[in-house]
Chains A and B, each alone.
Chain A
Amino acid sequence: MPATAQPVPRAELAGEIARAAQERAAAPDFPAARIARIRNAAAKLGATTVEPGDIRHAALLLERQANVDLQVPTASRVPGVSLVKRVLKKLMIWYLRFLAAQVTAFGQATARFGVTVASRIDELEAEVADLRDRVARLEGK
């Protein structure tokens, strides 16, 4: 890879910035509550992974995906096409709303089914664990 033409001590700069941020956060007028709200709101959009066996998380994903977004993208790299898309969107919105409501309801019902199955499996697993203990105790006797 190419070498940098004009090296400058950026590591020191990063340290200075980190210290400046800390000092600003320690100042009496620092808007701590507002910044905490910003951090929390952004953190909710970070990457997550769904473990293969995590039914509840999968059901939550399903529920989120089932919410059909009617804000159809109308931007375009091709001049003029954006206008056509906006017109079509206005003409079709009543139709899309009707379909979207049904798809969303179906998705929510499916997600609810998933959560119910997950609850039932949890109960069964607890019951099996209890039975295993009892069998083990009986075998011990």
Chain B
Amino acid sequence: MIVSPASRASDGSRRVSRTVHQFVPNFAAGDAIGSHVRHTQRILRDAGFVSEIFYDEAQAAVRKLGRPRSSFDVSRDGDGGRAWILFQLSTGSDMTGYVLDLGLPYAVYFHNITPPEFFERWEPGAAENLRRALNDMRRLAPRARFAMANSEFSRELLDEAGYSPTSAVPVLVDWSEYDAPGNARVLARVRRENEASGGARWIFVGRVAPNKCQHDVIAAFAAYKEIYDPNARLTLVGGRTSNVYYRSLELLADELGVGPSVEMTDSIPFDEILAHWRSADVYVSASEHEGFGVPALEAMTFSLPVVAYASSALPETIGDAGVLVDDKDPVVMATAVHRVMTDEALRKELVEAGHERRKDYDLDVVARQMLEHIRTGIADG
């Protein structure tokens, strides 16, 4: 039986649901989606909602924070048919069909889906999963009561897929976690290297995936070393989404003769990531597809100027608090970095603008937006 969440009780009054469960196919400890899901649950519970997290797969560190989907029981968890499902959409999964068959009202939070063509040549299986994810996105649209996306860029994709109403609510990030000093051993090692080389330290943070275009960062870095700063160093922080692409990046760095100056960290503990942030001079992104772009805001948190290729959601996330280039030719990007490294006034201005920009995404600010959209969506749904 499908019951409207805002259905009328026997006395004629509207009874608005106080239960919102989140469904997330892969619940991970260290990624932006896992963090977002945990914060969303806290916000909902603080507001008086009953809220559980249901997953198909979960990393050991967060397994106890949620429940496997198989344990979901409509008669027990469904609040008499009034419970809402908040589906966290980012990948293709069997969960889509399950949510559609449940008959409960649902909303979607869209974390964006990388276009499959980025993975086609590297990981055909991953490309297939992304095609499935896009199909899932379209399947969920007709019956979704409302949908939220992590950016305006992502929201437009929801509109194109037929969702209504839609809104943009940024990803929830607890910035206080970035106040920690970072791993002392890594920090000391990288700072020693910086002092010895005397050159600028570039950093890019993000999964090693073809859509992030780390190969273009390496190319721009090679040009920068050649033209402006032969002692520069580059740190690419991030675990592998594609092994083949990762290996190709190592080979590219060697082919261009910059291998010894490029550090690829792969997957590392959070305190080591903080140490790399704290020892960098400039954040450089050549990514061609970002649903939101959390690392750009992380860079602003660490008072780093941001130089980014103006693609997908990055212009709206960075705003005027970074240097956005429309052309990611290695020489253009290298020149942009050279400018922020040598123009002290500009650098200071960018760092200050970054601090202000980041405040717009403070956890309590975004949490209020999120709760308001969920409450409105449920009341209207």
Listed in ascending order, the chain A residues whose CB lies under 8 Å from chain B are 1-8, 10, 13-14, 16-18, 20-21, 24-25, 30-31, 34-35, 37-39, 41-42, 45-50, 61, 64-65, 69, 71, 73-79
Contact = CB atoms under 8 A, between A and B. Distances in A.
Identify which of B321, B326, B331, B359 gathers the most chain A CB atoms within 10 Å of its CB. Answer: B331
A17 B168 contact: no
Nearest to B59: A77
B266 to A, nearest CB: 3
A6 B244 contact: no
Contacts of B353: 4-6, 8
Nearest to B360: A2
Interface residues of B, number: 68
Nearest to A75: B266
Given A4-B321, A8-B353, A77-B30, A34 B120 contact: no
Contacts of A2: 170, 360-361, 365
9 contacts: A4-B319, A6-B353, A20-B335, A35-B227, A37-B256, A42-B252, A47-B288, A48-B121, A64-B244
Contacts of B46: none
A35 to B, nearest CB: 6
Q: Tell me if B's interface is mostly helix, strand, loop or mixed.
A: helix
B2 to A, nearest CB: 34
A77 B237 CA distance: 12
Nearest to A23: B335
Identify which of A6, A20, A61, A76 gathers the most chain B CB atoms within 10 Å of its CB. Answer: A6
Contacts of A7: 319-320
B268 interface: yes
A111 B349 CA distance: 55
B257 to A, nearest CB: 9
A61 B223 contact: no
B152 A8 contact: no
Nearest to A40: B219
Given A61-B121, A77-B30, A6 B356 contact: yes
Q: What 4 pairs across the A-B complex have the smallest Cβ distances?
A: A2-B360, A75-B266, A5-B356, A42-B219
B117 A47 contact: yes
B349 A38 contact: no
A47 B288 CA distance: 10
B226 A24 contact: no
Given A21-B331, A24-B335, A77-B30, A39 B265 contact: no
Interface stretch (B97-105, B195-203, B210-218): B210-218
A27 to B, nearest CB: 9
A75 B335 contact: no
B336 interface: yes
Given A1-B152, A5-B353, A35-B223, A48 B120 contact: yes
A59 to B, nearest CB: 13
Contacts of A71: 247
A39 B320 contact: no
Contacts of B346: 13
Given A75-B268, A77-B268, A14 B121 contact: no
Interface in B323-372: 323-327, 329-332, 334-336, 339, 346, 349, 352-353, 356-357, 359-361, 365
Interface string B85-123: 000000000000000000000000000000001101100
Contact of B269 (A39, A64, A77): A77
Identify which of B168, B211, B321 gathers the most chain A CB atoms within 10 Å of its CB. Answer: B321
A31 B227 contact: yes
Contact of A38 (B219, B324, B336): B219
Identify which of A16, A21, A41, A64 gathers the most chain B CB atoms within 10 Å of its CB. Answer: A21
B248 interface: yes
B121 A17 contact: no
B135 interface: no
A10 B151 contact: no
